[in-house]
Amino acid sequence: MFLVDKALEARETEGRPVQVAVTGAGFINRGMTNRILNHTAGMTVAVIVNRTAANAIRCYAEAGVEDPVEVNTVAELSAAIEAGKPAYTSDWTVATSCEQIDVLVEGTGTIHYAAPIVEAALEGGQHVVMLNAELDGVIGPILHKKAQANGVVYTGCDGDQPGVQMNLLRFVQGIGARPLVAGNIKGMLDYYRTPATQAKFAAEWGQTPEMVTSFADGTKIAFEQAVVANATGFTVAERGMIGPEFDGFIDDAVQFYDLDMLEEKGGIVDYIVGTRPSPGVYVYAVHDDPQQHIYLKYGKLGEGPLYSFYVPYHLCHFEVPNSAARAVLFDDATIEPTFGPQVDVIAIAKSDLATGKTLDGLGGFDSYGLCETHAITRTDGLLTMGQAEGCTLVRDVAKDQPITLADVTMPEGRRVDELRSEQDALWPLG
């Protein structure tokens, strides 16, 4: 951040703000748009892409912009940028085809709508910041390859838990320690929550019941930790992760982890329910230099051998612009799937599901997501959570059982499925 702020101030002085395209105009993106337009030097929101124009207009209005320009062509968007007029469009190709856009922030949280947008932005030479761990967890590695081929950055974001974990991991590695656990602190978990149970809470916060359900039923945290695994080479200790419940302080939760197991695995991603401080993230690490143990104890980090590091918050929309600036100004990714597919999120039945049923999507009534190793996902033919929506069951699946590829027929022509196949071909099982 302390390089980013000075670099953005220089862009402000030069009159060359970083031009950001934002997809989606929901709760988080409304806060982020306000943050960029009113509290970020050297950066501006050039265009909001949203299927419903009224929501894009509302997003701008909450940031104090009362007269955004509707654009339907690249030429119109370019003219709006030249004039310094914030724009909106329902046609995402207008944004991804505009050479003046430096970076696209994907914030819809969708799978099938967002996939071709991200792909087009990367192939058009735009950096991409993913405020969408769900899509990243399904096809992040192949999108990362496409970014590399086009000389741009594909990254998760500061502020969201994967990015906060990666920043902490980089800090821990920077002091010479060796991380063995990267974790998320969660307030509650109930696999069987549905949009019906979460409707009231969602309405209070202006979010969709499905999004809130994905938080409560564990699907969201599964995607977040899969993203971290793909960025670090870590794996999971077991299907669904360990996920202990603990009402004490995070420093004392090292008791739940066996050091020999962690060393054997080479590091794991995990989460803890109910611990403090919440919401935050943690990294448990060892230090292989005995002399440094003295200094870690002196720094009040305890006796080891596992040392606890944590960040007590994640301030999602406040921090996302930092990732946009890091990508554009420094070619630095906050978090990227450099290790390829390590962990997937598989679909598990929330109830007994009958033949002929067409499955709903993330945060729905039909399934919840659990982390599983990529190798087992492939060898056992398991259906990933990100591909479940729209699939039709060809046989019954019992509650709490994984849904397999053999259990379903998939809709034809979905770009996510095609990209997933490309990804599998690039990382064949050994």
pLDDT, one tens digit for every residue, the chain (430 residues): 569 999 999 999 999 999 999 999 999 999 999 999 999 999 999 999 999 999 999 999 999 999 999 999 999 999 999 999 999 999 999 999 999 999 999 999 999 999 999 999 999 999 999 999 999 999 999 999 999 999 999 999 999 999 999 999 999 999 999 999 999 999 999 999 999 999 999 888 888 999 899 999 999 999 999 999 999 999 999 999 999 999 999 999 999 999 999 999 999 999 999 999 989 999 999 999 999 999 999 999 999 999 999 999 999 899 999 999 999 999 999 999 999 999 999 999 999 999 999 999 999 999 999 999 999 999 999 999 999 999 999 999 999 999 999 999 999 999 999 999 999 999 999 7
CATH class of the domain defined by 343-426 = alpha beta
* CB-CB contact of 254 with 261 (8 Å): no
What's the pLDDT score for residue 207?
86
pLDDT digits (tens, 9 = 90+) for 127-142: 999 999 999 999 999 9
Per-residue pLDDT at 76: 98
Region(s) of the chain under CATH 3.40.50.720: 4-158+317-330
Phi-psi region of 316 (alpha: psi -120 to 50; beta: other; left: phi over 0): alpha
How far is CA 309 from each of CA 107, 160, 337, rounded to the nearest angstrom? Answer: 29, 17, 23
Largest CA distance in the chain: 63
At residue 202, the pLDDT reads 84
Instruction: Say whether 342 sits in a helix, a strand or coil.
Output: coil
Q: What would the pLDDT profile of 22-80 be if each residue is shown by its tens digit?
A: 999 999 999 999 999 999 999 999 999 999 999 999 999 999 999 999 999 999 999 99
Beta-strand relationship, 178-186 and 268-273? parallel
Domain boundaries for CATH 3.90.1210.10 within the chain: 343-426
Question: What CATH class is the domain 4-158+317-330?
Answer: alpha beta
Check whether the bond before 68 is cis (ω within 30° of 0). no
- Long-range Cβ contacts of 265-268 (<8 Å, 24+ apart): 265/234, 265/235, 265/237, 266/233, 266/234, 266/235, 267/179, 267/180, 267/181, 267/182, 267/232, 267/233, 267/234, 267/235, 268/180, 268/181, 268/182, 268/234, 268/235, 268/236, 268/237, 268/241, 268/242
pLDDT value, residue 1: 53
Q: Which residue, among 220, 141, 116, 148, has the nearest Cα to 420 in the 3D structure? A: 141
Q: Give the full edge-to-edge strand order of the sheet including 268-273.
A: 268-273, 178-186, 281-286, 307-311
Q: How far apart are CA 103 and CA 99, in angstroms?
A: 10
